[in-house]
Chains A and B, each alone.
Chain A
Amino acid sequence: MSSEPYLVVSAILFAIGVLGFLVRRNAIIAFMSVELMLNSVNLSLVTFARQHGNLDGQVGTFFVMVVAAAEVVVGLAIIVAVYRARRSASVDDANLLKF
């Protein structure tokens, strides 16, 4: 089958990830949205690999997964640290960076 449907699904998933990041206040869910965006990009990379007939796209996906794993570890640690300090996991509570 052709590759376009995969890419369309990837684009829609990415947009949903953006929406989740923008509208959800819970830091964990916002973080899940980020992961969703990363995964949608992975899907498109795999699709590209198949379309072009070489494995570089799959290697890219592999690296994205590794980096995502590292990112999740640090990000979740940050969420825990912030929660410990503020007793809250809402991203709106950390709003000191303003006028």
Chain B
Amino acid sequence: MTSFIPLVSAGEVAFWVCGPIAILLAVGMVLMRKPVHSAICIAGVMLALAVMYAAQDAPFLFVIQIIVYTGAILMLFLFVVMLVGVDTSDSVVETLKGHRVASFLAVIGLAVLLVMAVGQVFEGEPAGLAAANEEFGGNLEGLAALLFSRYVFAFEATAALLITAAVGAMVLAHGERLKAKKSQVVQAQERMEAYAAEGKHPGVLPNSGVYARFNAIHAPALLPDGSVAEASVSETLTARGAIVAVDQLRTPADRAFKAIERVHSDAEGESE
């Protein structure tokens, strides 16, 4: 088989495309101020890594990298980002004196040492996994054979670890109920007391929107006199100014009334 471009294999193309992308996205992850952006960056890093796995004869890892990391772990991150505050962004001011510079120098040193160390470890071309995969009839079969023979105890231990982690997460996330849950009777009594004391409306709040026309959550209800019922929309939306303007809501009604009046006057004129 002749290559489309001589001397360049598909694996090399994948590496030279994904490697720089991975590094750039990693740098982006460190630099992004919002956690969401960081999460998206690292998702890209992981996808790039998955491609590199595939380029190195690891199809199974390519798949689970995408499923486990990008699919599961990063979704977890995103959930937490949502819980903790999606739109909080870090201040760029460093509070520890000299920390950023020192960290940067230390990391440069570390990177230099690592690169120097790994740059000279191998002699010769990689052996390739063709022979290893052949033995059991494929990459996945080979991995399975190893996992369930030589690494079976480690495998069992990781199973225990996962169970423990799940229980631990539940324990950590579990909030202790400090007071007994209020019964409906108590809730009703409290509502009536609030009404007696402060005149707070005891019933359900008015629905948003206008029936038969427009009942989206950002459309306030109109009272019979045509004014806006404030309680019918969320305060947050009000504050953001995201609600539909009253005039816009009234427009169809006004138009209808005018049309009716016109018809009325026409009818009177005919009768005269």
Contact = CB atoms under 8 A, between A and B. Distances in A.
Contacts of A13: 22-23, 26, 45
Contacts of A69: 68, 72-73, 162, 165
Contacts of B172: 74, 77-78, 80-81
Contact of B9 (A1, A22, A84): A1
A64 B246 CA distance: 58
A66 B89 CA distance: 30
Given A13-B22, A28-B80, A66-B162, A39 B127 contact: no
Interface secondary structure of A, over-half rule:
helix
A49 to B, nearest CB: 7
Given A28-B35, A49-B129, A63 B142 contact: no
A54 B60 CA distance: 15
Contacts of A2: 122, 125-126
Interface in B105-163: 106-108, 110-111, 114-115, 117-119, 121-122, 125-129, 131-133, 139, 142-143, 146-147, 151, 154-155, 158, 161-162
Interface of A: 1-20, 22-26, 28-29, 31-33, 35-36, 39, 42-44, 46-47, 49-56, 58-59, 61-63, 65-74, 76-81, 83-84, 89, 92
